[in-house]
């Protein structure tokens, strides 16, 4: 089992669910941190716990406790270093885990990697960095085996040897989506570092404050007002280039909330979206998102694409094409 994204910490604790029982072992012990950096920064040593929601196959890896270290550099950026066991290796619990005593059973080797901080957590945005870390001290990314559907966060102090108090606060869908986007942006930084051609000097990278849209974008659309709309796996976002303002619609009801796949805009200012979700056709009238029912016989079809031209909305589905006339508001 390989957990490539294990250590992008700002830790989340996901809802407790039943897991398979692994072989019994002695409780995991955290060794003393030994990593170093120059110049000598302020350090905060801590232990944290990770719990990931079980998928339908019943498999649920559990990680913890790990001994890690956050290094805050003089320029305000954060570095994440793993100091548990040896560099590049670690152990993952796959059996029942006692959050109060910090004990688990069942171990399997896993890989540990180091990542740079996200682009938007830079020294030029020190206040934003502090606000993010005050709200969510750590977060845990999803792995190949587990999905990050609903998150729960535990508030830790920055004092050494902070203990888990056994209390979880559940995050809503919007906060969960923002954490997923934070992971996505972090992963994109690593990819861009490996493939410089992806970010040529003539391009400018746009990042959503507190989140990021570097991953899972399926479509772009520029409306009549010059705003850039993005359809992503986490929902719809719009960027006003003139005002330099982002607006996101993550977690809202309907097609714009998740799995948005295609976008098109109409002369009246409305923006239409197709999504992977059931009944996945909707539009934004400038104030609210509204769902649009498909006509028979394609009522339950998957919507694959949308296009607006000459007063008509064309909808490509898994079972055929439908056309909606805006003037008559009829299929």
Residue-wise pLDDT tens digits, 10-68? 333 333 322 233 333 233 222 222 333 333 333 332 222 233 333 333 333 333 333 33
Whole-angstrom Cα distance, residue 288 to residue 268? 15
Number of domains in the chain: 2
List b or e across 111-127, with b for residues whose CB sees 16 or more CB atoms inside 10 angstroms. ebbebebbbbbeeebee
Task: Classify residue 256: in a domain, yes or no.
Answer: yes
The count of C-alpha atoms lying within 13 angstroms of the C-alpha of 125, restricted to the half-sphere facing its C-beta, is 16
Report field, pTM of the whole predicted structure over 0.75 = no
Task: Classify residue 5: in a domain, yes or no.
Answer: no
Beta pairing, strands 107-110 & 152-153: unpaired
Whole-angstrom Cα distance, residue 281 to residue 289? 10
Task: Classify residue 50: in a domain, yes or no.
Answer: yes
pLDDT in tens, 215-237: 567 888 888 888 888 887 777 88
Give percent of the chain with pLDDT exceeding 70.
31
- Give the range with max mean pLDDT: 212-216, 298-302, 312-316: 312-316
Q: Are 192 and 126 in contact (CB under 8 A)?
A: no
Does residue 118 share a domain with residue 221? no
Task: Classify residue 304: in a domain, yes or no.
Answer: yes
Task: Classify residue 316: in a domain, yes or no.
Answer: yes
Q: Are 28 and 48 in contact (CB under 8 A)?
A: no
Does residue 64 share a domain with residue 180? yes
Q: Are 7 and 112 in contact (CB under 8 A)?
A: yes
pLDDT in tens, 162-178: 333 333 334 455 555 55
Does residue 270 share a domain with residue 184? no
Q: Which secondary-structure segment (H or E) carries 185?
A: helix 173-194
Whole-angstrom Cα distance, residue 48 to residue 161? 9
Instruction: List the domain range (segments joined by +) for residue 275.
Output: 217-325
Whole-angstrom Cα distance, residue 330 to residue 249? 27
């Amino acid at each position: 089992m390989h957990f490539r994204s294990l250590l992008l910490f700002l830790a989340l604790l996901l809802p407790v669910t039943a897991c398979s029982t692994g072989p019994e072992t002695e409780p995991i012990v955290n060794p003393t941190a030994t990593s170093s950096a120059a110049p000598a920064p302020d350090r905060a040593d801590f232990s944290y716990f990770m719990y990931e929601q079980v998928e339908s196959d019943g498999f649920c890896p559990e990680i913890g406790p790990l001994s890690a270290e956050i290094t805050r550099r003089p320029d305000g950026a954060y570095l994440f270093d793993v100091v548990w066991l040896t560099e590049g290796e670690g152990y993952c619990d796959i059996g029942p885990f006692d959050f109060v005593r910090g004990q688990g059973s069942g171990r399997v080797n896993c890989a540990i990697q180091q990542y740079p901080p996200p682009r938007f957590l830079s020294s030029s945005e020190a206040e934003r960095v502090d606000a993010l870390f005050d709200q969510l001290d750590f977060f845990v990314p999803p792995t190949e085996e587990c999905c990050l559907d609903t998150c729960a966060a535990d508030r830790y102090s920055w004092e050494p040897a902070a203990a888990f108090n056994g209390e979880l606060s559940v995050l809503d869908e919007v906060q969960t989506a923002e954490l997923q986007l934070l992971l996505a942006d972090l992963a994109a930084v690593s990819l861009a570092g490996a493939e410089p051609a992806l970010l040529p000097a003539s391009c400018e990278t746009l990042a959503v404050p507190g989140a990021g849209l570097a991953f899972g974008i399926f479509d772009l659309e520029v409306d009549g007002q010059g705003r850039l709309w993005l359809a992503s796996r986490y929902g719809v976002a719009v960027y006003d280039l003139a005002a330099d303002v982002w607006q996101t619609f993550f977690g809202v009801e309907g097609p714009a909330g998740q799995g948005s796949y295609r976008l098109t805009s109409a002369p009246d200012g409305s923006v239409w979206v197709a999504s992977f979700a059931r009944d996945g056709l909707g539009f934004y009238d400038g104030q609210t998102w509204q769902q649009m029912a498909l006509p028979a016989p394609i009522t339950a079809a998957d919507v694959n694409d949308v296009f607006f031209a000459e007063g008509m909305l064309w909808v490509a589905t898994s079972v055929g094409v439908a056309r909606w006339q805006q003037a008559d508001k009829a299929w």
